[in-house]
Copies of this chain bind each other. A is one copy, B any other.
């Protein structure tokens, strides 16, 4: 890295150091780009890129027609949880009862639901979606009462294809099959490509819903060591692929659930290369990718897939409307099998909600909405992190995601978060205990907190209560 490239990073690093040293504080206005140019002698382009870089590090934010301001950032860096080291085996430990406990109480309004992984109503553009619904009833010849074509709503598929340029893709509508949410997509892919007794590879910790689905299909899950910043460890992945018969791999490439990690571009490329080399399909779950806090959307593994070995899954369940059940898969070379699986299991998607989302994407409303929800989530995440730092005992480790919904906390080894869950519920606070995110015996001192709930003083109090319980 030389010359201009180097300069902008150098300048960005310098400003970051100043921010971390509290030279600038939350809410302070930064000098304008023009001013910086005058003081430093850097070009406009260098300073602009440096500010973008600082924005992508969530240190500063731009306010339209005003300038750049210091974000509500952490004044002290809390440690990131240690990389996971699951045993390289496929033990099956019963976790379902705990999951039933945590998610059985989902509709109890008085409980503060840090355990949920989707946006609260306040974050959703409900009025606009309702307008879209009325429009869709008018536009569709049967008002959405009839079946769609098996591959799914054409308008929606076209918009998803256009959208794919944002993550480095170049899809066409023919590449896409719509599904009932992202779980529907993953379910179709797994059913199309595996049979009971097969072994699949996942990161660890991993979303419990996929672990449960895999088990219910009779699959063995090989959980691999995972770095809380950069995702699955490539050496471990390579070793697994070369030494075991692996049928497929499922990874969350961006702002992973639960640990919040994002694979760097070079990792993404290498994962695709490995998959191609060993001829193992990759189901890429990119459901959180649009919720980045930085200046641009991270790419996906699919962006580097030339042979069609990646089955790319997405949805609007985390950004627009979980209850609409709108998701999709771009199954690469496995299109025929996945399409048949959809047809056999559910015939077709819900016509009207898929039309509404198609229109929402088409008229640019989605982009506007994402800008808002990203900013809200970013602010939430910083408020959560600051409050955790304030009230949780020394030694607590927390992930620092650059997008998505989740914080992954590692508490003192003595604490069992299954018990912690029960204590917290006595205070009407629900958290997701770490052991539901693995089939092995690990993460019992970890937990996942969602920051999808709107920030408030009572939320702050709930975090304070959790911190008090963690210090007991």
Interface residue ranges, A against B (CB under 8 Å) = 96, 103, 106-107, 118, 121, 124, 126, 129-130, 133-134, 137, 141-150, 180-181, 183-184, 187, 191, 195-196, 209, 212-213, 216, 218, 320-325, 340-341, 343-353
Contact = CB atoms under 8 A, between A and B. Distances in A.
A164 to B, nearest CB: 24
A137 B352 CA distance: 13
A240 to B, nearest CB: 24
A344 B146 CA distance: 27
Contacts of A191: 216
A200 B42 CA distance: 75
A145 B323 CA distance: 5
Nearest to A340: B216
5 contacts: A121-B142, A146-B323, A180-B346, A191-B216, A325-B349
Contacts of A118: 146-147
Given A133-B133, A209-B344, 5 more contacts: A146-B322, A146-B323, A196-B196, A212-B343, A213-B345
A322 B346 CA distance: 11
A325 B344 contact: no
B346 A184 contact: yes
Given A137-B130, A340-B216, A352-B353, A346 B323 contact: no
A321 B353 CA distance: 14
User: Most chain-B CB neighbours within 10 Å: which of A106, A133, A343, A345?
Assistant: A345
A183 B345 contact: yes
Contacts of A184: 345-346
8 tightest A-B contacts by CB?
Answer: A323-B351, A145-B321, A350-B350, A213-B344, A187-B345, A325-B350, A147-B322, A146-B323
B216 A346 contact: no
A315 to B, nearest CB: 11
Contacts of A351: 323-324
Given A107-B149, A325-B350, A352-B323, A341 B181 contact: no
A143 to B, nearest CB: 5
Contacts of A133: 133, 137, 352
A287 B133 CA distance: 28
Contacts of A145: 121, 124, 126, 129, 320-324
A322 B351 CA distance: 9
A348 B351 CA distance: 16
Contacts of A218: 195
Contacts of A216: 191, 340-341, 344
Contacts of A345: 183-184, 187, 213, 345
A59 to B, nearest CB: 33
Q: Specify which of A146, A149, A187 lies most central, judged by the most chain B CB atoms within 10 Å of its CB.
A: A146
A350 B107 contact: no
Given A149-B106, A195-B218, A216-B340, A209 B347 contact: yes
A344 B212 contact: yes
A49 to B, nearest CB: 38
Contact of A346 (B107, B183, B348): B183
Contacts of A347: 181, 183, 209
Contacts of A144: 321, 323-324
A121 B137 contact: no
